[in-house]
Amino acid sequence: MDFNENRPIYIQVADAILKKIQTGELMPGDKLASVRELAKEYKVNPNTISKSQQELEATGIFETRRGMGVFVVGDENIIKNTMNLYIKKRVEETRLEYELLGIGIEELIELLEEVKYDDDIKSK
């Protein structure tokens, strides 16, 4: 995984794990790989994975079962609602970051549309 130096690695790992839910690689009730396995997979320190897991548990999508590990919650409605809230939180952080740079929401939307258009061209 290539990391963006402008965002904390533990957040990027948490986002990558959430993406596994969005793509169906992780399903409701599935067990998350161990800290050591995830550290090896993402090539990061186990402490980074632990921090990512704390972030994920704070979303409500994952739960720790003492002695068993970390699991995706079994309720799909909780997953869907929590994913939407998590995404909105990230969007708000991005909006605030660009606002500090003097870029308003309209300009940010234009930039996002340009990036999408560029991605569409690259994928053809």
Per-residue pLDDT, 112: 86
pTM beyond 0.75: no
Q: By 3-state DSSP, what share of the chain in percent is helix, strand and coil, each rounded to 5?
A: 65, 5, 30
**Average pLDDT for consecutive 10-residue bins of the chain (124 residues)?**
87 91 91 95 96 89 91 88 83 88 90 78 60
What distance in Å separates the CA atoms of residue 118 and residue 103, rounded to the nearest whole number?
Answer: 20
pLDDT at residue 37, as a whole number: 96
| pLDDT, position 4 | 83
